[in-house]
Amino acid sequence: MTSPAQRPVDTARPVVLLTRRLPDAVEARASRDYAAILNPADETLSGAAIAERAAGAGADAVLCCAGDRLDAAAIAALPAGVKVLATFSVGTDHIDLEAARARGLTVTNTPDVLTDATADIALLLILGAARRASEGERMIRADAWTGWTPTQLMGTHLGGKRLGIIGMGRIGQAVAQRARAFGMTIHYSNRKRLPADLEQGAAYHADPEAMLAVCDVLSLHFPATAETRHWLNAERIARLPRGAILVNTARGSVVEDEAVIAALRSGQLAAAGLDVFENEPKLHPGYRDLPNSFLLPHLGSATVETRCAMGFRALDNIDAVLAGREAPDRVM
């Protein structure tokens, strides 16, 4: 059997390195079309290890994932033959794009296909946080439920509440569409105001900070960059109505954990539904002890259908670049 770090015997076909185990159908297509280097044990590889594997295999393309730390050093260490870095994610914050640009690497992502799954998880978080699902579930598992009472685990009703969305791209719009079905009114802030047919009556706020005062529920949908790091800090949380609910399906680094935890303790935030964390998987331990945090392990896109679609989309991009065509989802 070929060691994963060596170029396979079948050199007639381009070599594609998959950094993680991917759904069977995606691996089957990769292996059908390429000399695919898989990661059957699904080891977490450092950026240096990815570069080393790519060099050992003589990779022409790398299909990487959110969580792979492809910093400048890792990108510099990639072998010269690598033409494309196709990430199995919409987010690209794990890749040093400037370093990739300097190397002349094409970087692609997987937009669109995870919109619905991520919006569904945002609604799950809104509902779970508002209706104290985590506390209820833990009560039952701990065999601590003594029976129905009129005042037990009373949460927040969503109908008539104001949902503030920061970042009204595809996912933000899909969240708005779902939240309307729960009777929520939509406010949003975005770099550009949406046309009326997409806005669908939502109130636009050019300044996200100024919108905070009207957010009974705040849902974050903007990318993690150096500028957005810790955007939601203590000062901005204080602008929310007391007892607001925070939901984050974007990236953990856009909130300041200490400030969110302090607000969950003080009641400034009634609850938080979080699917993403700074320094995943080592999230701030303070979240675990809070009764009013509803926590998921980055499940936004985790449906079979979506993960297969993401893999196929990443392979479509690799196919295009290796065939000398423009990648459909070129980020840079």
Is 90 a residue that touches ligand DGY (CB under 6 A)? Answer: yes
For 313, phi and psi rounded to 5 degrees? -65, -40
Interacting residue with ligand DGY among 91, 169, 241, 286 (CB under 6 A): 91
- As a whole number of angstroms, the distance between CA 245 and CA 271 comes to 5
| Residues forming a β-bridge with 330 | 108
Task: Give yes or no: 157 in active site.
Answer: no
The answer to whether 170 is a known catalytic residue is no
| Residue whose CB is less far from ligand DGY, 79 or 111 | 111
The answer to whether residue 301 forms part of the interface with ligand DGY (CB under 6 A) is: yes
> Of 222, 158, 209, which is closest to residue 186 (Cα–Cα)?
158
Cβ proximity to ligand DGY, 128 vs 252, nearer residue: 252
Sign of CA dihedral 8, 14, 20, 24: negative
300 touches ligand DGY (CB under 6 A): yes
Please give the Cα distance from 106 to 274 (Å, whole number): 32
- Given the rule CB under 6 A, which of 85-93, 97-105, 280-288, 321-329 is the region that contacts ligand DGY? 85-93
β-strand pairing of 162-166 with 84-88: unpaired
Residue 169 sits in the site that holds ligand DGY (CB under 6 A) = no
Closest CA relative to residue 206, chosen from 251, 166, 255: 166
Told to check if 114 binds ligand DGY by CB under 6 A, we report yes
- 221 noted as active-site residue: no
Q: How far is CA 79 from the centre of its chain?
A: 28
Integer Cα distance of 89 and 118 in angstroms: 12
Report, in Å, the least distance between residue 150 CB and ligand DGY. 40
Residue 280 neighbours by CB under 8 Å, 6+ apart: 67, 252, 298
Nearer to ligand DGY, 20 or 83 (CB): 20
- Asked if 53 and 64 count as a contact pair (C-beta separation under 8 A), the reply is no
Query: Does 89 help bind ligand DGY (rule: CB under 6 A)?
Result: yes
Binding of ligand DGY by 107 (CB under 6 A) = no
Q: State yes or no: residue 66 binds ligand DGY (CB under 6 A).
A: yes
- Tell me whether residue 256 or residue 329 sits nearer to ligand DGY (CB atom): 329
Q: Annotated active-site positions, please?
A: 251, 280, 298
Binding region for ligand DGY (CB under 6 A): 66, 89-91, 114, 300-301
